[in-house]
Amino acid sequence: MDKIATCLWFDGKAEEAVKFYTGIFSNSSIDDVMHYGEAGPGTPGSVLSMTFHIEGREFIALNGGPQFTFSPAISMFVKCESQAEVDARWDKLLEGGGVPQQCGWLTDRYGISWQIVPTALGKMLKDKDPTKARRVMQAMMQMVKLDVNALEAAYAQP
């Protein structure tokens, strides 16, 4: 059990969301499901919370009600080793009504913000040559889904 876990607040869609996320990431599991009892406030027998893991991280999905919603102020940052992984994560997370955003960000159908980022981007942005890093940043700022080949081309310009 992790000492600290991220709790995601849903309005009745915790189970659906957990199944969606664990279906996207192969290294994932659903570990525990708690149901509302007679004390409420939810319908007895309905899902109160679910504990799940994605890529070694523990999350708790809570059916807390409509009082709170997600914002881009907190996002899931997914480090991708290849363009194929960027494409796969991007496409899956957009399924069912997700919305693409600038610079590798998207909001999934549950309102959670994700950053789908190739690991190569960080390496290029940390280059000691500020001109190379600036070109990569400028290229990224023009993108919605990040394109590794285009970022590498900006990096390699003479």
Question: Are 14 and 68 a contacting pair, CB within 8 Å?
Answer: no
Between the alpha carbon of residue 42 and those of residues 46, 49, 73, the distances in Å are: 7, 11, 28
What percent of the chain clears pLDDT 90, i.e. is strictly above it? 95
Q: Does domain 1-68 fall into CATH 3.30.1360.120?
A: no
* β partners of residue 62: 9, 49
At 40, is the pLDDT very low, low, confident or very high (cuts 50, 70, 90)? confident
- Closest C-alpha to 60, from 10, 23, 25, 99: 10
At 64, is the pLDDT very low, low, confident or very high (cuts 50, 70, 90)? very high
Which CATH number applies to 70-158? Answer: 3.10.180.10
At 22 the pLDDT is 98
- Closest C-alpha to 111, from 143, 58, 74: 74
**Does 1 score more than 80 pLDDT?**
no
> pLDDT digits over 15-38, tens only?
999 999 999 999 999 999 999 999
- Phi-psi category of 76—alpha, beta or left, where left has phi over 0 and alpha has psi -120 to 50? beta
Output phi, psi for 116, to 5 deg: -105, 105
User: Where in the chain are the domains?
Assistant: 1-68, 70-158
